[in-house]
Structure formats: structure tokens, C-alpha cells
Amino acid sequence: MVDVVATNETIIVVGGGISGMTAALEAAEVGKQVILLEKRPYLGGRVSQLYKYFPKMCHPVCGQEINQRRIKGNNNLTILTMAEVTEITGDTGDYTVNVKISPRYVTSDCTACGECEKVVETEFDDEFNYNLGKRKGAYIPNKMAFPQTYVIDPAIIGTDEADKAKEACKYGAIDLDMGEETLELKAGSIIWSTGWKPYDANKIQPYGYDRFENVITNVEFERLMDPHGPTGGKLLRPSDGAEAKNIAFIQCAGSRDINHLKHCSRFCCMASLKQTRYVAEKYGDDAKSTIYYIDIRSIDRFENFYNDVKSNENVEFIKSKVASIEQDENKNPVLRGVNTEGAVRYANTHDLVVLAVGMEPSVDVSEFPVKLVLNEEGFIQNDEANGGIFAGGTSADAYDVNRAVQHATAAALRAVQVVNNISK
């Protein structure tokens, strides 16, 4: 049974990605009582699924380690995973937040020793790897998962697989009778940082993501490059497991398009530039990357990064929104279009296509548990009508990590302002 103390001086942060973690920590480190709610069984959100960050080519888990330690050392902060907000009522300084907590079937007694995982055989698509790999029915979502506690997939509950897991646990940490819980929490202010989700590439019909195996998305590409990903960091194309060495990156796949996402998702240009660096690091001169773009949006010092990539002769830039993709007899994607610089018509064969899909708000407008002022794109506006509820990170607009963290820090102040005015 989860017991949490919350008052109207409490700040509730919805979403435990990098933005939510940041907002929660910044507020907690100034002495505020904070409750962080995360829908997944672990914190870290989308960034934990990235291989490297631009522009430093450093690893997201590095910052995560620091944030996890900040959390461990902070008593003002309560973390609830597998928790979803179902309803928010009240107003600035006096909110009531209803929370649904799904059963993990594993208690805090878990030592992450891994015995349960060994005995369970049923496998499921691994959502952490965008279903590119498999995971067991008893699993730790990823190697940096925090809390470092196993999860039992609800699908094996009631099967002997679950019983096997329970038996394997020497610490009685598996509780198969665990049920859904609901909490009612008070809060003075709420930071909404549920972040983003990749645009559904199936909707971009001309590119045949739904029809061609060797057309993948940029987020999937991150998992493929990660040494701890489904391919052990090998760049293997889905159709035949061959190494991909002639890779096309299609920018604005679903972004800047009134048929899909009206907005520019901002991070995709840099993400693709970064991904060409992965390819260069892996294969040097043996591999070629081609970026099909409308405008390259590498703002501020990212321009230096863009120039570095441009100076690599194995990376080609073609100013063109690819018109369509067909597949040849070897399942190589063939890209058709016109390079608008000089009106050059092309039909280029690549062995792998990476769609730079953009970000859309992870929470559907219609699903918000409270009425907020949103823009047409579904992002939360900074509007007084939203009272004591503030967006933090990519709930507010399409941001890269640095901008999201910066924005979440600002959101923390907005929340602190509300509760400080209550306490005084």
C-alpha cells in the first residue's frame, strides 16, 4: 500500500522523463515537498532510449546517474512509478489529483538479483527497444532502470510462469496479488511534463514504413546503434540482417506538413547529423550517409557541428523532400524526388532509410485530465487560464534535451512561486 503525504504546499510533477526529473529535483533541492509521478515502471523517459546526445556525443545515462543520485539523496522527493493521473480538480494552490497506480507485482524488497528473470520463459516485445528486441515476462526495463526493481508483465499473471517467478525470489519480493491502487493527492501546483512521442511513421504513406522492412525511424536507429541495444550496437538492416552502409536520412518525416504535424520538431536535424556521426564512427570511409532536407536547422553552436558533418565527404546533403519510396528486388529502398537546388531528378538506391520523425505531445489533447490552454499542435500554452498547472519540457513545444531541461527548470520556479505564496 502506497502512503504519501501531500498538502496544498506540495508540488506534483507528472512525468518522469528528463524534464520531469529536472523540475522535481530543482524544486525539491530548494526545500519543497515534491511528488513525481511516472507512468512507466522506471524514470528517464525517452532520453534513456537514446544512444548519444548531440553536440557532445556523450551518453544520456551519464546525466541520469547524477540525477538518480540527486534523487537518492533527497528526502523532499517522493517517486511513484506506474502511476497515471486520472483526474485533476480544484484550482491554483488547492488541487486534488487522482492517481491510478498499476501493479508492478514486485515490492521494494527486490534486490534486482535477477533470479525471477532466469526462470521465466515467456518473451514479449521489448518496448524499451521500440519492439526491436524481446524481453522476459519478468524483467528490469533497462540497465539503468530506476528504481532498480523488477517488473512482472501483467500478461503472465495467473499463469504458472508467474508462480515460477515467485518461487525463484528468495526475498518474497514478488506479490502476485498486488492490485491496482488509486490515490487522491493534494497539491498546490502541478508541473505537466509528460513529454513527447515519435510521430507514427505508418501515417507517412509515401515512405512505406508500413510496407518496407528497411525503412525505419530515427528513434529506432538510436537503439540499433546502442551497444546495449537489440543488435548489440551493430547496424543491421531489418530485412536480411546485413550491415547497412548506404543510409538515407529523410528530414521532416511528418513534420512541417499540414497532412501530419504542422510544426517543426526542432531536434530532428541535429539528431540526423548526429546519426551520420555514428555511421562515420562505425565505418569510416566504408559507409555513406545522405541527408534529404528542406532546411537544416542547426541553431547557435550546433552550426559548428553541422559544419563538421558537412566537411565529411561521406555525408551528402540533398535539398529535397523525398516524393516516394519504392523497394527493389533486394528490398533496397529506392528514393525518388527532385533536388530543388538545380532541379536534379533522382532515383537513389540505399540499403537503409531512416525517417527523421518528429515529436508530438505524448498526451492526446482529448485525454488531458484537466482543461488546459493548448495550441493547435497540442502543446500546452503558457497561459494564466491554466492556473497553477505549468508545462515543463516538451509538453510545451518541440525541444531538444538542453532546451527541455532549461524549460523544466523555469517551470519549477513557476510552481515554487505558487506554493511559496501559500506558505507565506
Partner 1 sequence: MADEMKVAGYICTGCGIGDRLDAGQLEMIATREGRIASCKQHEFLCSAEGVKMIKDDIDSGEATHLMIAACSRRAKTDAFSFGEIPMARANLREGVIWIRPEDPEQDETTQEMADDYIRMACNEVKQMNKPERSGEQELNKNILVVGGGVTGMTAAIEASKAGYPATIVEKSDHLGGALAGFSKKVPSKAPYAEPEDTGIAEMIAAIEADDTITVHLNSKLAKTSGAPGRFVAEIEGAGVTSEFGAIIQATGFTPYDANNLPELGYGKTPDVVTQLELEALVKDADGAIKRPSDGKEVESVVFVQCAGQRSTKENHLEYCSGFCCTTSIKQAMYFKEANGDINTTILFDDLRTPGAAGEDFYRAGQEAGVTFRKGKVSEVDGSLNVKFDDLILGMEDNIQPDLVVLATGMVPNSGVNIEAIAPKDDEEAEAGEQTENDDVVAVIDAESILNLDYRQGPDVPQLVNGFTDSHFICFPYETRRTGIYTAGPVRRPMDVEQAKSDAMGAAMKAIQAAENAALGRAAHPRSGDLSFPKFRLEGCTQCKRCTVECPFGAINEDEKGYPQFNEARCRRCGTCMGACPVRVISFENYNIMTVSEQIKNVDIPDEFDEKPRILVLACENDAYPALDMAAATGKIEYSAFARVIPVRCLGSVSTIWIQESLDSGFDGVVLMGCKKGADYQCHFVKGSEMAHYRMGKIGDTLETLSLEKERVAIYEVAITDIEKAPQYINDMAATIEEIGMSPFKF
Partner 2 sequence: MAHEYSFYPGCSSQKGASGSNQMVSNETMCDKLDIKLNAIDDWNCCGASVGYSGGGELARLTISARNIAISEKQHPDQDLIATCPACWLATRETQERLHDDPQMMSDANKALAEIGVEYQGIKKPARHMTEVLVEDIGFDGIAKPVTKPLEGLKIAGYVGCQSNRPYGIAGESFENPMYLDKMSEAVGAEALTGYEKKASCCGGALMFSEQEKSQALVKEIIEAAYDHGADMIMTPCAMCQMNVEAYQSDINEKYGTKFDIPVVFYSQVLSVAYGSTASEAALDGQLIAPKKLIDIANK
Partner 3 sequence: MSDLNQKMVEKYKGNFLQEVINNVEEGETMKMCMQCGVCSGSCPLGPHWEYPPQHIFMLIRAGKRDEVLNTDSFWNCTSCYNCIARCPRGVQITHVMHGLARYQKVLGLAPKNQPTEKFSQLFWDNLVQKGRVNELKLGLSLYFMNGFGEGIKTALKNQKLGMAMMKAKRMNPAEMFGGHGVKDPAGFQKMVKKAHELEAARIAGEES
Contact set for partner 1, span 62-81 (CB under 8 A): 62-67, 69-70, 72-74
Burial-class residue 337 by CB neighbours within 10 Å (0-12, 13-18, 19+): buried
Stretch in the footprint of partner 1 (CB under 8 A) among 174-182, 205-213, 235-243, 289-297: 289-297
Contacts to partner 3 from residues 243-262, by CB under 8 A: 252, 256-260
409 binding partner 1? (CB under 8 A): yes
**Least Cβ distance, residue 337 to partner 2 (angstroms):** 14
Encoded one letter per residue, x for contact with partner 3 by CB under 8 A and - for no contact, window 256-295 reads xxxxx---------------------------------x-
Q: What letter represents residue 402's amino acid?
A: N
Candidate residues 266, 277, 288, 350; the one interacting with partner 1 per rule CB under 8 A: 266
Encoded one letter per residue, x for contact with partner 2 by CB under 8 A and - for no contact, window 178-207 reads ---------------------------xx-
324 binding partner 2? (CB under 8 A): yes
DSSP, res 394: T
339 binding partner 3? (CB under 8 A): yes
Encoded one letter per residue, x for contact with partner 1 by CB under 8 A and - for no contact, window 212-241 reads ---------------xx-------------
Using DSSP's 3-state secondary structure scheme, residue 183 falls into: strand
In the complex with partner 3, the residue whose CB is nearer, 2 or 323, is 323
**Least Cβ distance, residue 217 to partner 1 (angstroms):** 20
Cα–Cα distance measured from residue 242 to residue 237, given in angstroms and rounded to the nearest whole number = 6
Place of cell 515502471: 41
206 binding partner 3? (CB under 8 A): yes
Contact 74, 29 (CB under 8 A): yes
Candidate residues 197, 234, 310, 319; the one interacting with partner 3 per rule CB under 8 A: 319
Provide the 10 A C-beta neighbour count for residue 350.
23
Contact 293, 354 (CB under 8 A): no
Candidate residues 159, 307, 324, 421; the one interacting with partner 3 per rule CB under 8 A: 324
211 binding partner 2? (CB under 8 A): yes
In the complex with partner 2, the residue whose CB is nearer, 114 or 206, is 206
Q: Please give the grid coordinates belonging to residue 121.
A: 520463459
**Least Cβ distance, residue 295 to partner 3 (angstroms):** 8
Candidate residues 29, 200, 308, 326; the one interacting with partner 2 per rule CB under 8 A: 326
Cα–Cα distance measured from residue 161 to residue 168, given in angstroms and rounded to the nearest whole number = 11
Contact 417, 384 (CB under 8 A): no
Nearest to 352 by CA among 242, 253, 271: 242
181-187 and 151-152 as β-strands: parallel, antiparallel, unpaired?
unpaired
For 79-138, what is the HEC assignment?
Answer: EECCEEEEEEEEECCEEEEEEEECCCCECCCCCCCCHHHHHCCCEEECHHHCCCCEEECE
181-187 and 94-101 as β-strands: parallel, antiparallel, unpaired?
antiparallel
377 binding partner 1? (CB under 8 A): yes
Q: Please give the grid coordinates belonging to residue 72.
A: 537518492
In the complex with partner 1, the residue whose CB is nearer, 349 or 420, is 420
Candidate residues 323, 364, 371, 373; the one interacting with partner 3 per rule CB under 8 A: 323
Give the binding site for partner 2 (CB under 8 A): 205-206, 208, 210-211, 324, 326-327
Give the binding site for partner 3 (CB under 8 A): 206, 252, 256-260, 294, 319-324, 336-340, 343, 345
